[in-house]
């Protein structure tokens, strides 16, 4: 049986913290699906299409990685794509406490899906999409926090009022 893993998130924008987790996890699974969750109550800074395109560009030479957007419960999307694992990145203890609650809920909904936690590399532990968005909105240079594909695209956009 293939080991298929879903790495869910908003990836708004994709950061080096995200790619650190993806790059280190890809060899653990036969297939790694990056799932961009669409939440109708949240207004993202970047479109779903833009985020999908960034991740597809970053991982265009990695056949084990697929990118897809989804709505609804993550465990339901796992069933749809036959994923037996959910991957979550952990930066700090507070992340673990929050993520463990979600993992416990998911396990109750579908005990066949296991959540795997991977701690980020120390040099990326302070990178959070929320903080990166604030830097971008306020005209700062977020290049050091972003994959080159994302940084290049953002430089061409007018985002200070978003």
- Among 24, 66, 91, 137, which one carries the catalytic annotation? 91
The question of whether 91 is a catalytic residue gets the answer: yes
The question of whether 40 is a catalytic residue gets the answer: no
The question of whether 61 is a catalytic residue gets the answer: no
Q: Annotated binding residue at 124?
A: yes
- Among 40, 42, 61, 108, which one carries the catalytic annotation? 42
Task: Report d(CA 68, CA 43) in Å as an integer.
Answer: 18
Q: Annotated binding residue at 47?
A: no
Q: Annotated binding residue at 40?
A: no
Task: Report d(CA 92, CA 74) in Å as an integer.
Answer: 22
Q: Annotated binding residue at 112?
A: no
Q: Annotated binding residue at 88?
A: yes
Q: Annotated binding residue at 162?
A: no
Helical H segments across 30-139, by residue range: 48-58, 74-81, 93-109, 129-137
* Whole-number Cα distances in Å, 19 to 25, 32, 49, 70: 10, 12, 18, 20
Q: Which residues are annotated as a binding site for substrate?
A: 10, 42, 74, 88
Q: Which residues are catalytic?
A: 18, 42, 91, 129
Q: Which residues are annotated as a binding site for ATP?
A: 10-11, 18, 89-91, 99, 124-130
């Amino acid at each position: 049986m293939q080991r298929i893993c879903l790495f869910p998130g908003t990836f708004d924008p994709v950061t080096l913290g995200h790619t650190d987790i993806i790059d280190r996890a890809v060899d653990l699974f036969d297939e790694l699906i990056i799932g961009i969750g669409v939440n109708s109550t949240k207004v993202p800074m970047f479109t779903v299409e833009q985020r999908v395109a960034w991740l597809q560009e970053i991982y265009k030479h990695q056949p084990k990685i697929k990118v897809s957007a989804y709505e609804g419960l993550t465990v339901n999307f796992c069933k749809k794509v036959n994923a037996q694992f959910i991957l979550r990145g952990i930066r700090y203890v507070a992340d673990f406490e929050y993520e463990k609650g979600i993992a416990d809920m998911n396990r109750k909904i579908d005990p066949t899906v296991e959540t795997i936690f991977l701690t980020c590399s120390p040099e990326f532990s302070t990178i959070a999409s929320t903080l990166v968005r604030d830097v971008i909105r306020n005209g700062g240079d977020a290049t050091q926090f972003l994959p080159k594909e994302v940084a290049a695209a953002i430089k061409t956009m007018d985002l200070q009022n978003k």
